[in-house]
Amino acid sequence: MKYMMFVCVDPEPDTDPAPEPDIEAWVAENDAAGRRLQGDVLSPASSATTIRVRNGELLVSDGPFTETKEWIAGYDLLECADLDEAIEVARAHPMARGGRIELRAFRDH
Amino acid sequence: MTEAQQAVAAAGADAYARIVAVLIRITGDWTLAEDCAQEALASALEKWPADGVPDNPGGWLMTVARNRAIDVLRRASVERRKLQELATLAPNTSSDHEPDQAGDVVDDRLRLIFTCCHPALALEARVALTLRTIAGVPTADIARAFLVTESAMTRRLTRAKAKIADAGIPYRVPSGPALTERLPGVLAVLYLLFTQGYNPAGEPAFADEAIRLARLLVRLMPEQPEAAALLALFLFQHSRRDARRDDRGNLLTLDKQDRSRWDHAAIVEGVSLLARAASGPYALQARIAAHHATAHDSAATDWPAIARLYDTLARRQPSPVIELNRAVAHGYAHGPTAGLRLLAAARVGGALDDYPPAVAVEADLTAREGDTDRAAALFRQAAAAAHSEPERRALLERADELRGEES
């Protein structure tokens, strides 16, 4: 199954002093295993541009559609057997502790 | 109930979860699996009174459910592989109470429990799904227990099943460290199920279901001491079911119950289960319950031992309700003043403000300290906030007794 893994910031990160896992190692391991198809980091949510079309008129506005403290900082596209495997991949990402991660399966898996 | 109806009920209680679990594994279709299992039961109710109860009632039900699933799938022209697997499925669900053979059939039920209790589902949905799919409880009964309409409960169940399919929640028992992480979640669902059945306003059948599922879990996972501890805890609490009300249906506190009416066979079974329990949170709670269940009379209760167990439990699993019970235990072990001191500490920050039993505990401790006026007022305050009518009446009775002592 394909999962979109949204890597988000969180106003209440983990306070555990243990060192966070290394992102390079996480990428290398999951790329090698074929579980990570691609992924990247996005520019901050404050630089987002929102586009709507209403009655044929283009509306372009600055900023995210809704104000939120849990904005998306990046994403990874995963190929996993099921949700349990995707959870194991997500939990090992440094941002599982520094922020939060949301998993969404592709609809036509 | 006629003999045939009883046979259907007994065979259903034994075989329902297996049938649903096997059909879900093969077809991946939860609704189809449930419908076919229900139709097999309906068919038995129709046929057994005339034809007699078959030699292997569980196997009969499995065969009928399987054939029904094959019919439905054929019409939907599903892949040959699924149909073949269904056609070759042996109807090996015995209805007697011999131990299960290890193998696929047993594993299917365990898989189903772990899927229904997956943490990616909302807690309420886990409980409802477990009741519906594994225990076969009608949606209307589940809805009543959760105080929602039947259509709202149907939507909740449908949404949970859709999430299982859409999110790719696996139909599998986790292994290794994942099992250690996931088992407490499964036990928590069973605990909630039991509480839902045992609380005074609850659905009593849910307590029986929780015990049945806990037994299943203990049989399927004999190496997990917390599962055995949870079953023991259920058995100790459930042993008092016939003694905890008076003739008018009012709740009786432990010290007023007729202990000869406790289910002593259940208590003996609980004690033997505890022999293999380690020191997890459920084992601690079960040990506390065992002290109550095995005390000859109220005065013989080993309160200092219970207070020590609560001290450990409060450290291991801190929660306001455990702190409240700890205050009660210390109140009996070391006097009401000690109990009131711990109660005050448990209430810091308003932790128990919305929990009426805390007021009842304060009332009891205050009464034993000798301030009957204040205690009577607190009992009335607790009664006004009580969640159920039997609880309310029991608390008002305590208030009236105190007035009797004064005059």
Report the residue of chain A nearest B169, measured CA to CA: A83
A4-28: average pLDDT: 94
What pLDDT was estimated at residue A80? 97
Q: How far is the alpha carbon of B118 from chain A, nearest alpha carbon, in Å?
A: 10
Give the ipTM of the model, two decimals please. Answer: 0.88
State how beta strands A57-62 and A49-54 pair: antiparallel
Q: Does residue A101 belong to the interface with chain B, where contact is any CB pair within 8 Å?
A: no
Q: What is the mean pLDDT of chain B?
A: 88
B275-302: average pLDDT: 91
What pLDDT was estimated at residue A20? 87
Q: Does residue A1 belong to the interface with chain B, where contact is any CB pair within 8 Å?
A: yes
| CB–CB contact B168 A107 (8 Å) | no
Burial degree of B168 (CB within 10 A; 0-12, 13-18, 19+): buried
Using alpha carbons, list the distances in angstroms from residue B120 to A29, B108, B129.
Answer: 25, 20, 13
Q: Which residues of B touch A109 (CB under 8 A)?
A: 168
Q: Indicate the pLDDT class of residue B119, thresholds 50, 70 and 90.
A: very high
A83-101: average pLDDT: 96
**Residue B403 above 90 pLDDT?**
no
pLDDT tens for residues B128-187? 999 899 888 889 988 887 888 999 999 999 999 999 999 999 988 888 888 888 898 899
What pLDDT was estimated at residue B406? 56
**Residue B100 above 60 pLDDT?**
no
Q: Which residues of A touch B172 (CB under 8 A)?
A: 82, 84
**Residue A53 above 90 pLDDT?**
yes
B273-290: average pLDDT: 90
What pLDDT was estimated at residue B363? 95
Fold of A2-105: Alpha-Beta Plaits (3.30.70)
Q: Indicate the pLDDT class of residue B44, thresholds 50, 70 and 90.
A: very high
**Residue B106 above 60 pLDDT?**
no
Q: Indicate the pLDDT class of residue B80, thresholds 50, 70 and 90.
A: confident
Q: Indicate the pLDDT class of residue B306, thresholds 50, 70 and 90.
A: very high
- Report the range of poorest mean pLDDT among A11-25, A69-83, B84-98, B162-176: B84-98
Instruction: Give the residue from A79, A84, A88 with the most B CB atoms within 10 Å of its CB, the best one to mutate.
Output: A84
Facing residue for B169 by CB, picked from A3, A83, A109? A83
B325-329: average pLDDT: 95
What pLDDT was estimated at residue B181? 86
Q: Which residues of A touch B117 (CB under 8 A)?
A: none
Find where tokens 């599962």 sit.
Answer: B227
- C-beta of residue B113 within 8 angstroms of C-beta of residue B186: yes
| CB–CB contact B178 A105 (8 Å) | no
What pLDDT was estimated at residue B353? 85
Residues B122-139 as b or e (16 or more Cβ within 10 Å = b)? eeebbbbbbbbbbbbbeb
**Residue B401 above 80 pLDDT?**
yes
Give CA–CA dist B95/B98, Å, rounded. 8
DSSP states of B278-298: -SSHHHHHHHHHHHHHH-SSG
- Rounded to two decimals, the pTM is 0.79
The residue ranges of every structural domain in chain B are: 1-98, 99-217, 355-407
What pLDDT was estimated at residue B92? 57
Q: Which residues of A touch B169 (CB under 8 A)?
A: 82-84
Q: Indicate the pLDDT class of residue B87, thresholds 50, 70 and 90.
A: confident
